[in-house]
Structure 1
Amino acid sequence: MLEENVGSLTGAAVTVRPTHSRVYAWVVFGLIFGLMLSDYMSRQVLNAVFPQLKSEWNLTDAQLGLLSGVVGLMVGLLAFPVALVADRWNRTRSVVLMALFWSLATLGCGLARNYGHMLTARLLVGIGEAGYGSVGLAIILSVFPASMRATLTGAFTSAGMLGSVLGMATGGVIAARFGWRVAFVGMALFGLLLVLACAATVTEARVKRHARRHERCAKGVSQTLPNLVKSLFCTPTLVFTYVGSGLQLFTAYAIIAWLPSYLNRYHHMAPAKSALAAALMLIVSGVGMSLCGVVADRVARNSPRGKVTLAIGYCLGSCVLLMIGMRMETGAAQFAVIAAGVFLAAGTWGPAGAMATNLVPASIHATALATLTLANNLLGGAPGPYVTGLLADRIGLLGALQWIPLVSVGAALAFGCAKATYERDLRRFESTRW
């Protein structure tokens, strides 16, 4: 029952003012969630048109992988400084500006005339998306009780999977009917509409009025570099969590990027059909991400280390299932096994996000989540699709997908180290928090 005993840390035992509006909290969640959908729709629509780009511009798999991976690289490199600025300046204005930037950059993808133009536009998409997930999630966490952190983290981040689904499915259909350029334009227009709605509804003043008491009253951290480094990296659990989460998402991002192409090449599906089939598979991943977060919060009521144990199980389970599935004969049974692996592949997001925010002051939640995003992208989002493409050029895409899930074993080991130190670091943080 340790996690209940440290209620002042997690916020579970903190009384909320009666004036707190649960309705507005869910409105905030809905709009920030919607922008996360737009984020990943803009990011993943590219994967649905891989076959058309490969044919039109005579690209290699490595070049295609770079178009996908460069977004993760930019997000990884810039997430920390962007979140730091948002924590100091204005979180709500920051997310609106970011969404506006990536929507315009996505429009630029639709206007690209060659590979160089597309690579530049994709780089700009990554710049716009950098920091959004961490800053947006920090806004959500500020208006909900902390006992829901793994649930909210998993549910919010599942928008990434759902956005990937919508981006690939709708992008594939639009590209098949109207051309790949129109697919990018459609994603850009969707993002711009959400920007207008969010700018009018989610303002810093309203969010602060509805913020939970632990967010308003918790002792802050001086925003100097030494203090930030101490808060974000000097706790062993945090470092192990960053590494474990990043390595696990290496597998998840690789599967997301290459599943449509895998279905196109080895199941002989047309590009539009393969995008739809991959979209259905990724719905399973989004549902898994949300449910894995809910389970982690429930387990943590009795033992804080329980969420870490679950994270280890998610890593190993996805590794085994995906390696087996990619070696099976094509058919319904293979799809069922791969779907089970995809269900678990990104399930560590909820536990990792909860652990990261449980061990830092609320005033730097966005920065802590940005650090987690940095690890997720530098260790997962950027290298995952690109390394898979390099392997595919040498041993074939199927061979690459058969071995990529082994990275999850390293993720499980990192979470195992985090499990050994989590309760101790939780107690230490509680003793110095107020």
Structure 2
Amino acid sequence: MNAKKLFWLLFLLNLFNYIDRQVLFSVFPLLQADLHITDTQLGTLASVFMLVYMLYAPLVGYFADRTQRQKWIGASALIWSAATMACAWVKNYAALLTARGLIGVGEAGFTTIAQPFLAENFPKEKRATLLAYFALALPIGSALGYLAGGVLGQHWGWRAAFMLVGVPGLFLGLLALTQIKDTFRLAQSPRDRARRVDYLILLRNKAFIFLCLAHAMGTFALGGFSAWLPTYFHRFWGFSVSRAGLVFGAMVVVCGALGTFLGGKLADKLLKKTHLAYFITIFASFLLAFPFAAGAVFCAKLLPALLLLAGGIVCIFLPMGPISAALVALTRTRVRSMAFAVNIFIIHALGDAVSPVLLGKASDIWGLKTAILFCSFAVLPACLFTLCSAWFARKSGRLREYLTPKTETK
């Protein structure tokens, strides 16, 4: 499979990865009415997915660094798609929690591998843009998930929403199993494969760890907003479930796609002037996100609040491509699957594995508006961690070594 076809197959898988993940949030009010559960229990449905997702990722990363990765990609898509469809058949809250956990197993297997696998098939100077294009699946898939959940849930019930969105991933997973070839692994000799000492070196990579922490804070904010803003629209602005999913989904797809696209382009353009281009883009994005997000909560009028929120969404999606490109740049080829797995573990352990349930608890105590405001503060430590990562990256010289046109050290 050539690089272009590989991109589109992985992009479609990533698209349904986010559709199947986010469809839950638009049907929160329907689930609550049907299963008689609290806001905290609703938030736990999102958090249990992330808990399984982050714990399973390092296991996948370990084996993916040693085996042909297309098998993990295809099998993971089959698992999460089947688990999404299984949500339609659950009879109680415990069964729904279990199904959400299995979705986490499948999606962790895919996300851990897909980005480094894709990056290896394209030139270094285009990787921020390439990974930004790949990351467009997040806003587009999330928006389609909100839309599908809202529309299908409103007209045919929440069970139909889960059933219908799970089907495409089954076909794409089979296609990945049969059509993708991991040429890098086939050409790799056993002595070039990851050793345990390589993982210790990775964990001592301070630039990498601080970048993961910055990413975690951004993920905390994004996860909390993704889980609760449709319900916020429903409660405070009187939107129906369908309209809340439609409006928020449209904002995510337009503003998120715009931010993701611009972030990759800006970083690659700035890369011609400085090796710290990725970090400059990431820092500026997080810094600008805070006043927009906080302002949207304090604004009493609907239209200005929506415009401020739109600006915040653009800013919080800007770092998507640069963060992935920086992760590739800061790590060696032989441990990249594990590097992305460690990143997944950190960003979800400190990010959206906890933010939905924390916001749900805060909402039960102080109200949802206060909870949303609390969530927006997470981007401030993200700025600090980005600066720390940039300092250690510059000190180590890894970025200059990586970006110099020569064969990369394995």
The farther-off stretch of 335-344 and 156-165 is 156-165
CA contact (8 A) 1:358 1:426 kept: no
Q: Which amino acid aligns with 1:30?
A: W
Q: Detail structure 1 runs of 4+ shifted over 4 Å in the superposition.
A: 216-222
Return 5+ residue gaps in structure 1 as ranges: 1-20, 210-215
- Return the match for 1:405 from 357, 371, 376: 376
Cα deviation for residue 131 of structure 1 reads 3.2
Letter in 1 for 2:50: G
Q: CA 1:243–1:149 in 2, change beyond 3 Å: closer, same or farther?
A: same
Task: Give the Cα separation in 2 of the matches to 1:161 and 1:350.
Answer: 13
Letter in 2 for 1:281: M
Are positions 1:191 and 2:169 aligned together? yes
Say which SS state the counterpart of residue 298 (structure 2) adopts: coil
Match of 1:119 among 75, 97, 106: 97
Q: Is 1:60 matched with 2:38?
A: yes
Shift in CA distance, 433/196, structure 1 to aligned 2, threshold 3 Å: closer
Aligned partner of 2:261 in structure 1 is 290
Are 2:275 and 2:400, in contact at CA under 8 Å, matched by a contact in 1? no
The superposition leaves residues 2-49 of structure 1 with CA deviations (integer Å, 9 ceiling, x where unpaired) of xxxxxxxxxxxxxxxxxxx8xx21111111011111111111111011
1:241 aligns with 2:232: no
Alignment of 1:389-400 (within 5 A): 389-400=360-371
Post-superposition Cα deviations, 1:55-94, rounded to whole Å, max 9, x if no partner, equal: 1111111100010111111111111211221221111111
CA shift, 1:413, in A, is 0.5
Aligned mate of 1:110, from 83, 88, 94: 88
| Distance in 1, Cα, partners of 2:134 & 2:84 | 22
Query: Is residue 433 from structure 1 mapped to residue 402 from structure 2 by the alignment?
Result: no
1:227: how far off?
2.1
Aligned positions of 1:20-35 closer than 5 A: 24-35=2-13
Aligned counterparts of 2:399 and 2:144: Cα–Cα separation in 1: 43
1:318 is matched with 289
Which of 372, 387, 392 is matched with 1:416 structurally?
387
2: distance between equivalents of 1:310 and 1:358?
15
Given that residues 220 and 362 in structure 1 are in contact (C-alpha distance below 8 angstroms), is that contact kept between their aligned partners in structure 2? no
Query: Of residues 330, 338, 342 in structure 1, which corresponds to 2:301?
Result: 330
> Post-superposition shift, 1:139?
1.8
Partner of 2:133: 155
Q: Does 1:376 align with 2:347?
A: yes
Partner of 1:175: 153
Runs of 5+ consecutive residues of structure 2 not aligned to the other structure? 403-407
**TM-score normalised by length of structure 1:** 0.88
Does the CA contact (< 8 Å) of 1:256 and 1:282 recur in 2? no
Distance 1:146 1:220 in 2: 25
C-alpha distance in 1, partners of 2:389/2:236? 39
Q: Distance in 1 between matches of 2:213 and 2:69?
A: 26
C-alpha distance in 2 between matches for 1:156 and 1:368: 18
Task: Please give the alpha-carbon distance, in whole angstroms, between the structure 2 residues aligned to 1:420 and 1:64.
Answer: 40
> CA, structure 1 residues 27+220, in 2 after alignment: closer, same or farther (shift >3 Å)?
farther
Pick from 137, 140, 148 the counterpart of residue 115 of structure 2. Answer: 137
1:339 aligns with 2:313: no
